[in-house]
Amino acid sequence: MLVQTIAWITSLFFMILVVAVFAVVAWKSRERKDYAPIKKKWYKARTFYGAALIALMLVLTIYTLRELPYNQPVYGAGNEPTVVDVQAVQFGWNISENEFKVGEPVEFHVTSKDVNHGFGIYDEEMNMIAQTQAMPDYTNKVFITFDEPGTYEILCLEYCGLAHHLMTADITVTE
Ligand code: CUA
């Protein structure tokens, strides 16, 4: 679980950073200093910081917006995806097809008959490999190409009533 480890270490780093900043501020607050020059200096710093932040955010925004819609694959000729209709319903899944081949591009078109549900696909080690929201009157798409054979499990990810935990289904992927 490398991702969790990285997330944990990153969080710890920033937690320590915040504590350190508070400690320095608390320590420095004992000193008496003339306010005017400090104000001038840090107002200048703030202007620079603000401009840098806007520039950075602008670059990031433009860069990431180019990818929209995210995760939308481009299929080559003769490589059309298998479209699978998924309808969530209290408390189960109506899936038009649940057997796929390794390397076969699959598009799940996910909607709901009643309330909001979550459509999550898990591999055999119960790692989530894809998910989307199942909403009434909307169709959300999940693009996936299974690269391992096996039995995958679909679980509902949104508490949707008393039998929420029974909303499971299986997908079989063969070589
Ligand atoms: Cu459907 Cu929880």
Distance of CA 138 to the CA centre of its chain: 19
CA-CA distances (angstroms) from residue 37 to 40, 51, 113? 5, 22, 65
Over residues 161-169, the mean pLDDT reads: 94
DSSP character at residue 161:
S
Ligand 1 atom, smallest distance to 134 CA:
1
Q: Which two tokens stand for residue 109?
A: 């078109």
Over residues 37-56, the mean pLDDT reads: 94
Distance CA 116, CA 60 (A): 32
Distance CA 76, CA 131 (A): 24
Identify the pLDDT of residue 64.
85
Distance 154 CA to ligand 1 centre (A): 11
State whether CATH 2.60.40.420 applies to domain 82-174: yes
Distance 119 CA to ligand 1 centre (A): 8
Write the pLDDT tens digit of every residue in 65-88: 887 776 678 787 888 899 999 999
Write the pLDDT tens digit of every residue in 107-163: 999 999 999 999 999 999 999 999 999 999 999 999 999 999 999 999 999 999 999
Write the pLDDT tens digit of every residue in 19-44: 999 999 999 888 888 888 889 999 99
Ligand 1 atom, smallest distance to 91 CA:
1
Distance CA 109, CA 140 (A): 6
Identify the pLDDT of residue 58.
96
Distance 2 CA to ligand 1 centre (A): 29
| C-beta 158 within 6 A of ligand 1 | yes
Distance 73 CA to ligand 1 centre (A): 28
Helix (H) or strand (E) holding 141: strand 140-145
| C-beta 155 within 6 A of ligand 1 | no
Radius of gyration, alpha carbons of the chain? 25
Distance CA 1, CA 61 (A): 29
pTM reported for the whole predicted model: 0.63
Identify the pLDDT of residue 78.
80
Ligand 1 atom, smallest distance to 90 CA:
1
